[in-house]
Amino acid sequence: MAERPEHSVDILPVGLTVMVPDGETIMFTALASGWKWPNVCGGQATCGVCLLEVQAGMENASPIGRDEAVRLDFMRKADNPALRLACQLRVSGPMRILKRGARPLEGATEQTSGGAVGEAGGFSGAR
């Protein structure tokens, strides 16, 4: 069985990168890698706490599903396509996002089963 390709997601303002497996959510990968990622509902698209801003690479974001659309509309954020829920946004290429409060916990800066975390090297947009 072939491994899924991974995509770099630069996370600001912390200035680090997490490697997200193709088709996986940013929040799931960050949590599995030992990050503190603000959320209340555990990835069910019901709290909106994981809201982030996509600054580059929007073409590599999954389409907004029904649950995410309902939450964004309730939060009055549906009119800004750059605002997404980290628990719902699935990655298919490199991205740069802004999420205040997200950060790796101690020991999460090395390769882990959920992905790798390293210094952000700048978003190139190339695959």
**Single pTM value for the model:** 0.84
Domain that holds residue 54: 6-93
Domain total for the chain?
1
Q: pLDDT digit of tens for each residue in the chain (127 aa)? A: 668 899 999 999 999 999 999 999 999 999 999 999 999 999 999 999 999 999 999 999 999 999 999 999 999 999 999 999 999 999 999 999 999 999 998 766 533 334 455 555 555 554 3
Q: For residue 114, what are the contacts with CB-CB under 8 A and spacing of at least 6? A: 28, 29, 30, 31, 32, 33, 34
CATH number where 34 lies:
3.10.20.30
DSSP 8-class letter at 70: H
